[in-house]
């Protein structure tokens, strides 16, 4: 396992034992379940190269591209992957460790719409840039990601170039690589080479990560296979993520969904190891339910939390880093009470389950269709509080404050006690968003609810933003690459 210097890395370190809901008997049944599903039903890989890699490794591949996996072969293959690795940022002090007791929280990714000033509209490049800048400003967000919203005002065939340039220039935290297909991943890696100092720099260890979503149930399409193979080939991190809405993409029974999720994530991890043994890979989880009356996805319910806790327990059996299907997930279309309590359900479960990676850390609304600036602040508030909640308290002689009792005596107060005066500035967590004002003071300040206060705070955060410097010539070289590739793509 790769070790790290905690003083030079971002991220949160789990110091409390993770919650484990499953008994040993339950774990044994789930073990039997995933072995049977992998070997008897298998996973379809819609790509001839992937099929040949599995066939060459002695696995049964039928004419439809379905690979029936020997469970012992699966375990042997993933044993080559690192248990823990460093994801390097262009600012080394912002690098993060993936795996072990470490947690990286990333920006949200993918919504085609943005909510601003109460208006739901198509997302633009300006919106994307502002979300990247917010992720840079808030220390509790460890990675700016790359696609906090889809910039629909840019040409589809070449917008990934603009997205990658923005992610690499607007923040010096670890970034997410271009996704969608192998060609776009390669473009993103070429831009990363410019920033990090060439192809050899990428060989030294991952500087980016990508998500390959499984076409659940039990299938990988061609673009996602290309994402896995391209990232693995270049020694970059891939997060293999089944997208399971129980009742739609998996059976409604949670144990069945856990078995399916295990098979799908392991199958993608094995492919990465067949491409390049030792390539960094993260087992993914994105498990929730479907509303069986409307057919709509449901996020932030108790099934999400239970699924996260069980997913973490299963992932630890395999020894690989794992991504929680957490983040600030909610089905609410507005940054309201529902959005807050549903997001807290998945945020807290990710911490409690010992997750190593959390995507959609801030700003997610409406089942992932909408990116909200106000919700971003609400999520940051939660993450800051959860870091405190999941940090063990220090118990020593000074913390018992016996002298304070001698000073105050019976029936007094501790406001003026020496123990209080020495500690009052930092003794309690100071919320970013929450109000403790009296009703009269709250009213005099405009009677602002949490969403209205969040609206003010994200704008103030952008006013504080300062672009991190780039080495001389890097922006020009990236611009030349983008211009050439845009011409080649016909955009």
What is the token pair recorded at 12? Answer: 């949160």
What single string gives the DSSP state of each residue in 384-406? HHHHHHTSPPP--TGGG-HHHHH
Q: Report if residue 438 sits inside a domain.
A: no
List of residues 6+ apart from 317 with CB closer than 8 A? 27, 31
pLDDT score for 325: 84
CA–CA separation, 249 vs 243, rounded Å? Answer: 8
Supply the range of the domain harboring residue 329: 6-18+77-389
pLDDT tens string, the chain, 491 residues long: the values are 343 333 345 899 999 999 999 999 999 999 999 999 999 999 999 999 999 999 999 999 999 999 999 999 999 999 999 999 999 999 999 999 999 999 999 999 999 999 999 999 999 999 999 999 999 999 999 999 999 999 999 999 999 999 999 999 999 999 999 888 999 999 999 999 999 999 999 999 999 999 999 999 999 999 999 999 999 999 999 999 999 999 999 999 999 999 999 999 999 999 999 999 999 999 999 998 998 988 888 899 999 999 999 999 999 999 999 999 889 999 999 999 999 999 999 999 999 999 999 999 999 999 999 999 999 999 999 999 999 999 999 999 999 999 999 999 999 999 999 999 999 999 999 999 999 999 999 999 999 999 999 999 999 999 999 999 999 999 999 999 999 999 999 87
Predicted local confidence at residue 183, as pLDDT: 96
pTM: 0.95
In-domain check, residue 463: no
Total count of domains within the chain: 1
> Is 470 inside any structural domain?
no
The answer as to whether 126 is a domain residue is: yes
What's the confidence (pLDDT) of residue 10?
83
Distance from C-alpha of 408 to C-alpha of 5, rounded to nearest angstrom: 43
Residue 424 lies in a domain: no
> Please, what sign has the CA dihedral across residues 192, 193, 197, 199?
positive
pLDDT at res. 9: 56
- Please report whether residue 479 resides in a domain: no
CATH of the domain at 219: 3.20.20.480
Residue 239: which of 215, 263, 268 has the closest Cα?
268
Assess if residue 395 is contained within a domain: no
């Amino acid at each position: 396992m790769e070790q790290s210097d905690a003083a030079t890395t971002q991220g949160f370190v789990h110091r409390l034992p993770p919650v484990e809901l499953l008994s040993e008997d339950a774990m044994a049944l789930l073990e039997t379940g995933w072995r049977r599903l992998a070997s008897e039903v298998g996973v379809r890989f819609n790509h001839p190269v992937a099929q040949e890699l599995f066939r060459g490794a002695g696995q049964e591949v039928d004419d439809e591209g379905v690979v029936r996996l020997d469970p012992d072969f699966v375990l042997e293959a993933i044993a080559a992957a690192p248990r823990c690795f460093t994801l390097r940022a262009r600012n080394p002090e912002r690098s993060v460790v993936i795996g072990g007791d470490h947690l990286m929280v990333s920006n949200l990714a993918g919504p085609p719409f943005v909510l601003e000033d109460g208006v739901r509209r198509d997302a633009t490049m300006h919106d994307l840039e502002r979300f990247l800048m917010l992720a840079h400003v808030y220390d509790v967000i460890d990675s700016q990601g790359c696609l906090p919203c889809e910039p629909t005002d840019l040409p589809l065939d070449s917008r990934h170039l603009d997205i990658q340039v923005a992610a690499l220039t607007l923040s010096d935290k670890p970034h997410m690589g271009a996704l969608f297909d192998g060609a776009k991943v390669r473009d993103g890696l070429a831009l990363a080479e410019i920033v990090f100092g060439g192809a050899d720099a990428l060989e030294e260890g991952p500087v980016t990560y990508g998500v390959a979503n499984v076409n659940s149930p039990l299938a990988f399409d061609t673009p996602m296979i290309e994402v896995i193979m391209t990232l693995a080939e270049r020694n970059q991190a891939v997060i293999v993520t089944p997208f399971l809405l129980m009742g739609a993409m998996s059976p409604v029974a949670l144990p069945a969904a856990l078995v399916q999720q295990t098979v799908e994530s392991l199958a993608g991890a094995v492919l990465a190891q067949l491409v390049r043994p030792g390539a960094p890979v993260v087992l993914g989880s994105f498990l929730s339910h479907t509303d069986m009356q409307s057919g709509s996805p449901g996020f932030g319910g108790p099934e999400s939390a239970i699924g996260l806790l069980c997913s973490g327990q299963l992932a630890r059996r395999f020894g690989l880093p794992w991504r929680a299907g957490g983040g600030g997930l909610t089905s609410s279309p507005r940054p309201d009470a529902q959005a807050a309590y549903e997001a807290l359900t998945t945020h807290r479960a990710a911490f409690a389950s010992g997750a190593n990676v959390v995507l959609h850390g801030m700003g997610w609304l409406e089942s992932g269709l909408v990116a909200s600036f106000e919700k971003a602040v609400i999520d940051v508030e939660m993450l800051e509080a959860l870091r405190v909640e999941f940090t063990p308290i220090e118990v020593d002689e000074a913390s018992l404050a016996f002298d304070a009792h001698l000073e105050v005596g019976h029936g007094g107060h501790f406001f003026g006690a020496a123990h209080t005066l020495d500690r009052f500035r930092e003794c309690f967590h100071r919320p970013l968003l929450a109000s403790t004002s009296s009703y009269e003071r709250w009213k005099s300040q405009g009677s602002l609810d949490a969403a209205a206060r969040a609206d003010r705070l994200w704008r103030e955060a952008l006013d504080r933003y300062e672009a991190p410097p780039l080495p001389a010539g890097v922006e020009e070289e990236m611009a030349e690459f983008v211009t050439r590739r845009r011409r080649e793509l016909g955009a």
